Structure 1
Amino acid sequence: MAGKLIIGNWKMNTRAQSAQSLVAALLADPVCNQPWVGVAAPAVYLAALGAQLAGQALQLSAQDVSSFAADGAFTGEVSAAMLSDVGCRYTLVGHSERRQYFGEANPALLSKMNNAMAAGLVPVLCVGETLGERESGQYLDVIFSQLAILSEVNDSEYVIAYEPVWAIGTGKVASLEQIA
């Protein structure tokens, strides 16, 4: 895949009915029902949304994937195979909130990337810096550190999503120069 990919991350929002209504509205809009557009819905809604999206261009994404490769006694985890089974095409990996609140670091993210690819999913590796890191000039070091796992992935199909942490929920938007 080359080009742009737009995935709306719903985070921990919506309910079953509103999730299905939102997907129905996206499907009805030919601009949104495209293979380069997706929704990253909460895990509890993925199966229902996967059924709703079957045969459509709009893509389904998980917000996370387990770092455990095989099924087993991992309460609360959702494997890459399970995500693939319900119709996911993509999964976010390394979202800034997962890094911040759950302490996810490169070793676990590498496992998640490889597990996703082994199950036929396309991982979307999220990278980005905090405002302090941007202002202190450390942003390239931070981003290069986050990208370092790519030298160890087992496959070549993945997406990089630049998500500056300082822009999340602040109303600030990264300029094209900053993104480049």
Structure 2
Amino acid sequence: MSLHKWFDDEETKQRRKKRDDLYNSLPKEKVQDLKKKGIRNVMKDTNAKKDPIYVSNKKSSEFIQDIIEFKEWLDSRTYLKGDLNRIETWIRILYKKLESVSKELKIENEKEELIEEFRKIPPDFLEEKTRIALNKKLRGNKRDSSDYYYLRKLKVDVENILIQAKYYETLKKILDL
């Protein structure tokens, strides 16, 4: 058995030294805050920045910033007749950005509504693995091959049931005569 595997290699030493230097360079207040906060909360904060709500707020603030920039440029101009082409271009770009932001928000709202409707489905209505696969799909988590299998199986089952529903609807119309 080799003793070398118990010793740190150069890369690990460098990473540890860099981490310690960063930690020592922090102000004491920041160190105390980090100790109080804990690693889980720090990780939650970093993951919150990737949250779709954060991203949509960022895009809307960028859009507002573009409008303010356009307003400032427009205010600084004294003779606008020569700038008509440039003004049209600005407005087209702003309109396309507005459409894209509103489309993304609409998609996010529809997704949230689907999640709420999915929560209303009783847990015993679907198999556990199918429910897990649907949860992963709704939340955008990574899916594996078994998840894809259960989603395909559910899709086929739903299509068959919808075909049967058409037949039952026809039978209901006949009975209502």
Asked if TM exceeds 0.5, the reply is no
Under a length normalisation based on structure 1, what TM-score does the superposition of the two structures give? Answer: 0.23
Which structure features the higher share of strand residues?
1
Which of 1 and 2 has higher RCO (CA within 8 Å, sep 6+)?
Answer: 1
Which of the two has higher C-alpha Rg? 2
Under a length normalisation based on structure 2, what TM-score does the superposition of the two structures give? Answer: 0.23
